[in-house]
Amino acid sequence: MSVVYALATPPAKSAICVFRVSGEGCLEALEGLFKKGPKEHGFFCVRDMYLNDEIIDSVGLISFKGPKSYTGEDSFEVYGHGGLGVMGLMMDAFQSFGFEEAGPGEFTKRAFLNNKLSLNESESVLDVINSTSKKEVLLASQSLSGKFTKEVFSISEAIDTIRTRVEGEIDFSDEDEVFLDDSLVSDLGLLIERLNVFIQGCYNKKELGAKKTVLFVGPPNSGKSSVFNRLVGFERALVSDVAGTTRDLIESEVFYNDLSFSVIDSAGIRSTEDKIESKGIDFTVDSINDADVIVAVFENTKVDLLLELEDELKDKKVISVLNKIDLGGFEDAVFDSKVSAKTGQGFDQFKNLIKDAFGEAYKKDSVYLVRDRHIKLFNFCLEGLNGAYKILQNNKEMEIAAEELRVSRSYLDDLVGRKTPDDVLGDIFSNFCIGK
């Protein structure tokens, strides 16, 4: 395979930028790129990087001799200053040595092809990158660690053992009569139970669904946008004493404990002759249907808005919030949450209410994060094992039972990538980011 390079950090101004290079022969270019290569592979060093005998940048450099690398090939990484000009010159330097720009997921794909990662572990790399909650990271990391693959291999070997015993019964039977080992059926039953337990500990990433949304509604000047800004942590929405300031939907993202969700600020709801403001209010009312949780913000005990929107809110989880409690005088007021957007008082309890409104995102007994592809292959495997089990119970058609076991094992091979079609690999790695 050719030598490829990629920017592994975002293509924007930052403190540092990181380039990855992989491919047989890439280490031979170190002397030309840095004039002085590293003393030893696997150790970080600082070198000047050159292009046409001119110093580009003083960079960090670490090299790896294959197969002791992420990809299993000769590779190195360069850590430079994160300026756009620096990045451009580094790319020019790599191209001057004939390196090709890597495609999405190129490095992880090479790791798979070089047997550094199984296919499901490769998929877990992307799942870890895309994780938006602590729990999702932990589940994906369990798969990436190799524990998932190890268990699949163990189950595959158990299927092979039972299949060998079945074929032995066939080979050593007297003519057409088969004398089945009494423990064979029970052992297969235990294996089916083991696989079912394993599958139950897998959480399908698809079940997470779309990101949950929280819609802020309220009358004008209730401090709705201020509460919104306090929740997201910065001045995302414009705040003003003038009624009708917020006219469009303003969206941001919040991370809290192990939960990630979208929050949307909306126009203050009131009767108005302003056509533009009225349009914004219509957007707000329409958006209630799509939101998972409604946060209704008030500055006093007048909550007529909840009655006005009774029909729209009847099937929704609504959290009523009293804002501006720093002004005092609301001790006896009945609301789900009392906060001060100005001081931050009450926001911990408010965030917990939002989290509780979403419920438990994951099964408590979840161990691994998996995909639709994995679940389908598991189900195909179970179908074959159950078919073999029924045949063995009847002590007939042993050849068919052996074939069912063989096919069941093949589905697990597909799962870990022992024999996977090129088009499937293309679909999997096309979803990766450049540089991974």
Average pLDDT over residues 238-254: 55
Same domain, 375 and 412: yes
CATH number where 69 lies = 3.30.1360.120
For the chain, how many structural domains are there in total?
3
Average pLDDT over residues 228-250: 58
pLDDT in the model for residue 273: 46
Strand 75-81 with 54-64, pairing: antiparallel
- Give domain status of residue 260, yes or no: yes
Same domain, 47 and 146: no
Distance CA(261)–CA(170), nearest Å, equals: 58
Average pLDDT over residues 308-319: 76
pLDDT in the model for residue 94: 96
pLDDT in the model for residue 46: 96
pLDDT in the model for residue 218: 81
In residues, how long is the chain? Answer: 436
First and final CA of the chain: distance in angstroms?
Answer: 17
Same domain, 275 and 138: no
Higher pLDDT, 172 or 138: 138
Strand partners, 251: 264
pLDDT in the model for residue 71: 96
- Give domain status of residue 436, yes or no: no
Calculate ∠ Cα 267-272-278, nearest 5°: 50
pLDDT in the model for residue 276: 44
pLDDT in the model for residue 50: 96
Strand 4-7 with 100-101, pairing: parallel
Higher pLDDT, 279 or 127: 127
pLDDT in the model for residue 41: 93
What backbone phi and psi angles, to 5 degrees, belong to 200?
A: -60, -25
Least confident of 26-30, 73-77, 285-289, 356-360: 285-289
Same domain, 243 and 314: yes
- Give domain status of residue 435, yes or no: no
- Give domain status of residue 76, yes or no: yes
361: pLDDT confidence band, cut at 50, 70 and 90?
low
pLDDT in the model for residue 235: 59
Same domain, 396 and 259: no
Higher pLDDT, 329 or 11: 11
Is residue 142 predicted with pLDDT exceeding 90?
Answer: no
Could you tell me the residue range of the domain that residue 61 belongs to?
4-117
Helices 398-416 and 372-394 cross at an angle (nearest 10°) of 160
Strand (E) or helix (H) holding 258: none
86: pLDDT confidence band, cut at 50, 70 and 90?
very high
Average pLDDT over residues 95-102: 95
Task: Calculate the alpha carbon distances from 323 to 23, 137, 248, 296 in Å.
Answer: 59, 35, 22, 10
Q: What is the mean pLDDT of the chain?
A: 82
Token pair listed for 84: 């756009």
Q: What is the DSSP string of 317-385?
A: EEEEEE--GGG---TT---SEE--TTT-TTHHHHHHHHHHHH---S-TT--EEE-HHHHHHHHHHHHHH
Is residue 77 predicted with pLDDT exceeding 60?
Answer: yes
Least confident of 310-319, 326-335, 360-369: 360-369
Distance CA(384)–CA(405), nearest Å, equals: 6
Average pLDDT over residues 346-360: 83
Same domain, 331 and 251: yes
Q: What percent of the chain has pLDDT over 70?
A: 81
pLDDT in the model for residue 333: 76
Same domain, 194 and 236: no
pLDDT in the model for residue 298: 85
Helices (H), 172-303: 182-200, 224-232, 275-287
Same domain, 321 and 377: no
Same domain, 222 and 338: yes
Same domain, 153 and 218: no
Distance CA(227)–CA(303), nearest Å, equals: 17
Same domain, 167 and 284: no
For residues 367-403, b (16+ Cβ closer than 10 Å) or e, as one string?
A: bbbbbebbbebbebbbebbebbbebbeeeeebeebbb
Is residue 226 predicted with pLDDT exceeding 50?
Answer: yes
| Residues 104-125 pLDDT 10s | 999 999 999 999 999 889 888 8
Q: What is the DSSP string of 289-313?
A: GG-SEEEEEESSS--HHHHHTHHHH
37: pLDDT confidence band, cut at 50, 70 and 90?
confident
Sign of CA dihedral 170, 172, 178, 184: negative
359: pLDDT confidence band, cut at 50, 70 and 90?
low
Strand partners, 337: 321
Same domain, 219 and 353: yes
92: pLDDT confidence band, cut at 50, 70 and 90?
very high
Higher pLDDT, 251 or 216: 216
Least confident of 194-203, 258-267, 357-366: 357-366
Average pLDDT over residues 169-180: 59
pLDDT in the model for residue 303: 72
165: pLDDT confidence band, cut at 50, 70 and 90?
confident
